[in-house]
């Protein structure tokens, strides 16, 4: 498990999630590493265009303006680039005035091994393999699958989470997958007063909750929502689980199998995390979306 500071939120992000590196990545795939290196060095003074996660990172770092003199939100760059080719990434960070000072450039190797050392609560990447390794290390992680970077135009930072296999364990989802909806509903009714075990995003949600507590509820710059396919009577166990964890969720939307996308747009989510590929594909053209490759749906 990562060594984390209780009063700090640390987000790790890959360079391809923060900036649009599609063009240079194409050079790498078609012409090889040497051509890629030459391409990046020749353009190291040209700022990269924002990537899928850029608006989210920008909002995260702006939270420090409201949290007082001690920066309680940190973004760490984890990159497969070498330090030499990564200079363009750092120059772009400076161009956009992003307060990112810590980074690991891994020279072609996967950077996931440094996630725990940096004490990260969340890792966002375009590399599904790296995300799976991060989840195995006990860190919330998601593969960004959005078609483009997006922004809500709202100063408040709004996170949306699926429930089972994301905030909660996949224990209930396993019943649904193996025995069907009727058995799932009966099982959840019978266990309504037994809290669900935590899923991979529980520690990240707890870290967000600690930041929220620095503000009156009506003025918090962070808002959270549970957007789940569950419906009554399977709602009770979820509510009692969050109560047992002593974690506040600002909005809980129980959809009973309805498509989530329009609700996420109405909520004005900055980012949405779900374990189901179909839900991610539906939301990704409209909202920054992270696929969480965890649980029975990804076995």
| Residues known to be catalytic | 162
**193: exposed, middle or buried (C-beta count within 10 Å: 0-12, 13-18, 19+)?**
exposed
Direct distance between the N- and C-terminal alpha carbons of the chain, in angstroms, rounded to an integer? 22
* Sign of the Cα pseudo-torsion (79, 7, 213, 201, in order): positive
Structure tokens at 44: 């190291």
Q: Which of 172, 19, 37, 27 is nearest to 100 (CA)?
A: 19
Q: Is residue 233 reached through a cis peptide bond, with omega within 30 degrees of 0 on the bond before it?
A: yes
**149 and 53 in contact (C-beta within 8 Å)?**
yes
- Residues ≥6 apart with Cβ < 8 Å to 111: 14, 78, 79, 80, 104, 130
Instruction: Provide the 8-state DSSP code for 234.
Output: T
Beta bridge partners of 76: 12, 102
DSSP sequence for 151-184:
--S-SSEEEEE-TBTTTB-SHHHHHHHHH-HHHH
């Amino acid at each position: 498990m990562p060594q984390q500071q209780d009063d700090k939120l640390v987000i790790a992000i890959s360079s391809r999630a923060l900036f649009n590196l599609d063009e240079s990545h194409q050079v790498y795939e078609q012409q090889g590493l040497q051509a890629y290196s030459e391409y990046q060095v020749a353009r190291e003074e040209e700022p990269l265009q924002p990537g899928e996660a850029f608006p989210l990172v920008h909002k995260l770092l702006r939270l420090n303006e409201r949290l007082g003199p001690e920066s309680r939100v940190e973004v760490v760059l984890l990159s497969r680039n070498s330090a030499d080719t990564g200079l363009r990434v750092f120059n772009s960070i400076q161009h956009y005035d992003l307060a990112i000072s810590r980074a690991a450039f891994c020279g072609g190797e996967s950077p996931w091994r440094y996630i725990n050392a940096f004490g990260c609560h969340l890792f966002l990447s375009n590399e599904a393999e790296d995300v799976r390794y991060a989840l195995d290390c006990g860190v919330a992680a998601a593969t960004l699958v959005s078609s483009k970077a997006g922004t809500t135009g709202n100063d408040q930072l709004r996170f949306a989470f699926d429930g089972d296999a994301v905030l909660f364990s996949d224990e209930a989802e396993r019943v649904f997958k193996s025995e069907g909806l009727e058995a799932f509903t009966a099982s959840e009714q019978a266990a309504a007063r037994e809290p669900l075990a935590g899923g991979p995003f529980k520690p990240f949600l707890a870290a967000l909750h600690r930041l929220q507590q620095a503000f009156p509820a009506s003025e918090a710059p962070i808002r959270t929502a549970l957007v789940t396919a569950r419906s009554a009577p399977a709602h009770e166990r979820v509510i009692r689980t969050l109560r047992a964890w002593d974690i506040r969720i600002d909005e809980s939307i129980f959809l009973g199998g309805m498509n989530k996308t329009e609700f996420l747009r109405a909520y004005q989510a900055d980012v949405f995390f779900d374990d189901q590929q179909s839900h991610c594909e539906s939301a990704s053209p409209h909202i920054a979306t992270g696929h969480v490759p965890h649980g029975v749906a990804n076995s």
